[in-house]
Chains A and B, each alone.
Chain A
C-alpha cells in the first residue's frame, strides 16, 4: 500500500481525506477536470452518465446545508443514486457504533461515502475500514480538514487570478476552530503561493501556526496590504468555548471586513467566504454583496469541483 492512505499505488486518488500530502499535479488535475464539468452545469440537461448505477451515501453526523446539498447535486449530475442519512437522528441515538453503521451501509452495496463528523479523523477511520472498492470523501471532520472546500476555494482563485505563483493570500478570522482554514493553508502552500497570511487575534490562532508556512498578523491594516485574495472565516459561535472574544461587536470593530479595511488590499483583490456568513460580525454586508465578492461563484464552482473529485475517485 502507498504511504499516503488516500492514494493508490499508481498515485491516483482512492479517498479524499485531507489536502495535506497530496501532490500539486493531482490538485491541478482536479481543477482541470472541474473545468470540464463547468460546461456540464450550463447544459440544457445538467447531467452526464459517468456514475450511473453507483450508490453514494451522504453520511452527515453534523448539520450542514450547503456542503450536503452541493455534494448531492454533484452526485446527481453524475447520474449516481444519492442516499442522504442524517445519522444524529437515527442509529447513533440507538447506540450503534460508527463502523457498524458503515458496515451496514456497505452491505447495501454502497460505492462511496461522503462523511461529515464532529470528530477529527472520522473519515480516516472509515477509509481504513472499508473494502477496497469503496471510496471515502471527507466532507469535514472536527477541526481537522475540509478538503473539498479547500479545493473549491483554490479553484475559485485560479478562475479569477489565473495562477498561484505570485499571489499574496490572507485568511482572516477564527483559524483555531477552522478545518476550512487548515485545508486552505495546505492547498495554498502546495500550489506554490509565495505568501500566505493569517490575520486574527492571538486567542483565535492555533499554537505554532507559523510552522504551517504562514505569516501571522494581528492587525488588519498591515495584514491586508498588497493582498490579492482575502478569505474571511466564519466566527464559529457553536465551537467557542469560554471567553475567547469580548463580544461580536468588538470583533467586528477590529477584524470585520468593511469597505474601509478592504481598501488596504490591492484594488483588484477578491473576497471569499466559505459560508454561512455572519453579516455584521466577520463581514459587512456592503463587502459581502460588493463587486469584489466572489462568495456566490464559490458555491457554483463547488459543484464542479465535487463532481471532479467523485468521478476521479469512482474511476480509480
Chain B
C-alpha cells in the first residue's frame, strides 16, 4: 500500500504517554486485552510499562463484526486468547485507532460471551474525533487526529518490532 507522507505522531511516544495516563488508575483486578491486530501490538508494549504481572490477552472480533453481510468473513481470523476469567474483572481494552466505534461495540459483545466483566475501559493510541457512528468514547487517548474520510490510519510493525503510524488513501 502506498503510504502518504504526512506528519504523524510517533507511536512509540504515544504508548509511553498512554502508559503514564493509565498507570495511576490500575486496580488489582485489572487485565489487559488487545484487539487484533494493532491493539494487540500496542497492548504488548503497554504491558511491561504498566505491570508485568498483570494478566493480558488478545481478542479477535471477526465473528462479531456488523459488516459480515456486506464483506463476508475477514480473511485473517486470529485466535482469541483470554487466559483468565472475564467474569467480574476490570478490563482495559486496547486498540490502535478509535474511528466509528463499531469495532469496540463488537469487542464488548465478544467479551460478554466469555462472562460479565465488572468494568470495561478503553485505551487507544489515536482517536479520530468527530467520526463516531456509535455512542462510544475512549477513557485514555494518546492523540486526537482529524483524518479525511477517504484516508485510513493504522499501526504497522517492522522487522525490529518497532511500531509506527501510517496513513493510506482508500481506493
Contacts and interface: CB of A to CB of B under 8 A. Distances in A.
Interface stretch (B78-86, B124-132, B162-170): B78-86
Nearest to B67: A315
B62 interface: yes
Contact of B77 (A35, A44, A316): A35
B149 interface: no
Given A44-B114, A44-B115, A316-B72, A49 B63 contact: yes
A311 B114 CA distance: 21
A213 to B, nearest CB: 29
A49 B64 contact: yes
B77 A36 contact: yes
Interface string A40-66: 100111011110000000000000000
B113 A38 contact: no
Interface in B18-69: 60, 62-64, 68
A314 B73 CA distance: 9
A48 B66 CA distance: 12
26 contacts: A12-B72, A32-B77, A33-B73, A33-B77, A36-B60, A36-B62, A36-B78, A36-B79, A36-B80, A37-B63, A38-B79, A40-B80, A40-B113, A43-B113, A43-B114, A44-B114, A44-B115, A45-B112, A45-B114, A48-B110, A49-B64, A49-B109, A50-B63, A311-B73, A312-B73, A315-B71
B83 to A, nearest CB: 11
Interface string B74-104: 0111111100001100000000000000000
A208 interface: no
Interface of A: 12, 29, 32-33, 35-40, 43-45, 47-50, 311-312, 314-316
A38 B71 CA distance: 23
A45 B113 contact: yes
Contacts of A35: 77, 79
Top 6 A-B residue pairs of the complex, sorted by shortest distance between their CB atoms: A315-B72, A36-B77, A48-B63, A45-B113, A315-B73, A39-B80
Given A47-B113, A49-B64, 10 more contacts: A29-B75, A32-B77, A36-B60, A39-B80, A40-B80, A44-B114, A48-B113, A50-B68, A315-B71, A315-B72
> Which of A39, A48, A314 has the largest count of B CB atoms less than 10 A from its CB?
A39
Contact of B79 (A39, A43, A48, A50): A39
Contacts of A315: 68, 71-73
Contacts of A311: 63, 73
B3 to A, nearest CB: 26
A267 B115 CA distance: 41
Contacts of A45: 112-114
Nearest to B76: A32
A177 B21 CA distance: 67
Nearest to B73: A315
A35 B81 CA distance: 11
B63 A36 contact: yes
Contacts of A314: 72
Nearest to A40: B63
B131 to A, nearest CB: 25
> Which of B68, B77, B87, B115 has the largest count of A CB atoms less than 10 A from its CB?
B77
Nearest to A311: B73
Contacts of B113: 40, 43-45, 47-48
Nearest to B86: A44
A47 to B, nearest CB: 7
A43 B110 CA distance: 10
Contacts of B71: 315
Contacts of B115: 44
A50 B73 contact: yes
A39 B78 CA distance: 10
Nearest to A12: B72
A300 to B, nearest CB: 16
Contacts of B60: 36
A306 to B, nearest CB: 14
Nearest to B81: A39
B15 to A, nearest CB: 27
Nearest to A47: B113
A67 B82 CA distance: 30
> Which of A29, A35, A36, A40 has the largest count of B CB atoms less than 10 A from its CB?
A36
Contacts of A316: 72
B89 to A, nearest CB: 13
